[in-house]
Structure 1
Amino acid sequence: MLTIIDKYILKRYLATFSAMLLMFVPIGIIIDVSEKINFMIENKVPFLDIAVYYYNFTIYFANNLFPIFLFLSIIWFTSKLANNTEIIAILSSGISFTRFLRPFIIGATIVSLFVLFLGFSIVPAANEGFNNFRYTYLRTGGKEIMRGDNTDVYRQVNDNEFLYVNSFNTESQVAFNFALERFEKDKLVSKITASRIKWNPKERDYTMYDYTKRTVGPLGDKIEKSPEKKAKFSFELEDLTPVVYIAETLRLDKLYSFIDKEKKRGSSNINVYMVVFYKKFSVPISAFILTIIAVSVSSMKRRGGMGMNLTIGISIAFAFVFFDKVFGVLAEKSTFSPFLAVWFPNIVFGILGIFLLRNAKR
């Protein structure tokens, strides 16, 4: 049964977190618009596409930075409670610090369940729309804005075939600069190239444009060309999608099946997929850890006031994000365990939270 104090704190918890999101998300949108407005004008991007992009951007931005927003919002309103001596009054009435923490934990539970729901259902679709817009429009003079793993895709389809595409548009289901090489006993047998390859969902096949096939023979190579050619291949549509891109756009059940298929195939990008998979569960748990740390840090009235609490809070929040990003990249680029990499920040800051909570109780 929630008391008046519980309802008061819980209301402040959720209201401040919501206000923090409403305050920072528009700032993120303004910065993004200032960076991309020239590309949008040059490429004559339709207004409706821009509106859909910024809807997806809002979800993408809020989901990635929600730990910082949550942490700072708790620091903010808990510091105000401490400066107004409200916490002293609550604890002086006989309520223990552990009991005082209960509405914060309830608030963290609500936020965690909401983030978990978003991560399983809404965020993958938003990530797909967000990335698709960038691939479709944000290029100029043939030079990609996005580089590295997010553009070129080079993938082993099976023991004998290797696939390459320069970029992929999920909305039109078209890949550009397509190449498929087939080897037998480490020797190139054939190579198919096309300027574009389009998936046909009804026929369950592909249409290649500017098609060329080179078949390597003992007495000479055979060249076959055609402006347009349909064919069926052993690879699937998601094989054309960039590594991080596809992992972020799949719902939990599809992501699990995709990872299982890639493991059987012996994909070298398994760690990238596993990092995305584990983060769907680790990020919501971080809400509890950051809540405990924030309350423990800001519940005491300090000489520096709210400014000192915010300084400490911002330092801890960015340290958490730094650990999260560094170990995520470490797992993706090395043999470091993805599970340990994703959960390491929660483990370290969980221990820190226990230590700070014990000191706060004293």
Structure 2
Amino acid sequence: MLSILDRYILRKYLGTFALLLLLFIPIGITVHLAEKIDKILDNEVPIIEVIKYLYDFTIYFANLLFPLFLFLSVIWFTSKLANNTEVIAFLSSGVSYYRFLRPYIIGATIVCISALIFSMYLAPKASKGFNEFSYNYLKKGKQDRDQNNVYTQINDNDYIYVSYFNVNENIGSNFTLEHFEGNEMKYKIAATQIKYNPEDSTYTLFNYTKREIGKTSDILERSQRLDTVFSFDLEDLTPVTYIAETLSFTELNDFIKKEKARGSSNIGRYEVVRYKRWSLPVSAYILTIIAVAVSSVKRRGGMGVNLAIGIGIGMIFIFFDKVFGTMAEQSSFSPFIATWFPNIVFAILAIYLLRNAKR
């Protein structure tokens, strides 16, 4: 059962966190809208689409930066408790420092569970709307979706390659499809250009060549133009880098399994997204303990010193998270280690600061 102390600190914990979100999210929306408003006006985006975009951006922004908001909110209200000598009063009444931490841990648990549900199921929908708006209406996004040197395994036997694919026109250059049975290639299809026809989900090949590999001689088939169907989807030719962010937890697991079977080169990026959905919510505990340890001591400079220390630690945490995440996406560095390393480092820091604060 929660005591008066627990309820008091827990109310401050959750209330200050919610208040900080309500204060900073509108600022983030305003800055982002000011940056993109010229492109939105140039593309004559309907107002309802802009409203949906801002809603998706709000969820996307809150999910991305909630650890920093939580960290600063805990430092803010705990510093106020320390400056008002309330922390000293609690501890002088016979409450141990670890007992003093209990409502903070309860609050971190509530935030962690909420963040898990949020990141697993709600944030992916917002991320999809946010990214699709960017690619549909913002000029830079449309350019970024064009793909170079796409090579992927679409099933156990077939591999496809295009040197360039234009998303706006659904046209690719230097297309090849190689079919293997075991370790032997049975046939190879090549075309200087491939075009996807969305009205009937067919493909048109230009300067088409099919070579069937025989034991003694090959069979060659040529055509200037060929309309055909393939077992792969358009998405296999246009792998979208943000796709993992738009999938729920179960969908993401199935997607990664499918991409591993295909030999996708973006597995590191997808796994970073998956592991972050666990590591960021868990960071609520670590950042809460660090924030309490830093701000529960009354300092000469008051709240300003605590906030300065807190902002510095928060920026370092985000820096670590981004750097190691990028390393895992663009190299063979383990995505699991990359996403959990900041938590491990800051957990060690939390233990050290907690011991000092206890003294």
Q: Shorter-normalised TM-score: what interval?
A: 0.7 to 0.9
Q: Which runs of 5+ in 1 are unaligned?
A: 169-174
Cα 1:344–1:166, aligned 2, differ >3 Å: closer, same or farther?
Answer: farther
2:171 to 172, 177, 192: 177
**Equivalent residue letter for 1:133:** F
**Equivalent residue letter for 2:301:** G
Cα 1:217–1:21, aligned 2, differ >3 Å: closer, same or farther?
Answer: closer
Q: Residue 265 in 1 paired to residue 250 in 2? A: no
CA contact (8 A) 2:202 2:230 kept: no
1:245 to 242, 246, 267: 242
1:334 to 323, 331, 334: 331
> What aligned pairs does 1:113-262 form with structure 2 within 5 A after superposition?
113-139=113-139, 144-145=140-141, 151-152=146-147, 154-158=150-154, 159-163=158-162, 165-167=165-167, 176-178=170-172, 180-183=175-178, 189-191=189-191, 193=193, 197-198=197-198, 206-207=201-202, 211-216=204-209, 222-224=223-225, 232-236=229-233, 238-239=235-236, 242-262=239-259
Q: Residue 291 in 1 paired to residue 322 in 2? A: no
CA contact (8 A) 1:125 1:249 kept: yes
The C-alpha deviation readout for 1:26-78, integer Å capped at 9, x for no partner, is 11111111111111111100000000001100000010111111101111111
CA contact (8 A) 2:290 2:349 kept: yes
Cα 1:79–1:260, aligned 2, differ >3 Å: closer, same or farther?
Answer: same
C-alpha distance in 1, partners of 2:63/2:294?
24
Cα 1:26–1:155, aligned 2, differ >3 Å: closer, same or farther?
Answer: farther
Q: Which runs of 5+ in 2 are unaligned?
A: 180-184, 212-219
- TM normalised by structure 2 equals 0.87
CA contact (8 A) 2:196 2:234 kept: no
**Equivalent residue letter for 2:25:** V
Aligned length: 340
State the match for 1:172 in structure 2: none
C-alpha distance in 1, partners of 2:146/2:287?
35
Please say which structure displays the higher CA radius of gyration.
2
**Equivalent residue letter for 2:9:** I
The C-alpha deviation readout for 1:266-317, integer Å capped at 9, x for no partner, is 2221111111111111111000000000000000001111000000000000
CA contact (8 A) 2:210 2:222 kept: yes
Cα displacement (A) at 1:236: 3.6
- TM normalised by structure 1 equals 0.87
Cα 1:165–1:118, aligned 2, differ >3 Å: closer, same or farther?
Answer: farther
Cα 1:110–1:312, aligned 2, differ >3 Å: closer, same or farther?
Answer: same
State the match for 1:77 in structure 2: 77
CA contact (8 A) 1:238 1:246 kept: no
The C-alpha deviation readout for 1:183-241, integer Å capped at 9, x for no partner, is 4769973227456543x7xxxx6155xx443213798952116xxx6x54222464355
> What aligned pairs does 1:53-132 form with structure 2 within 5 A after superposition?
53-132=53-132
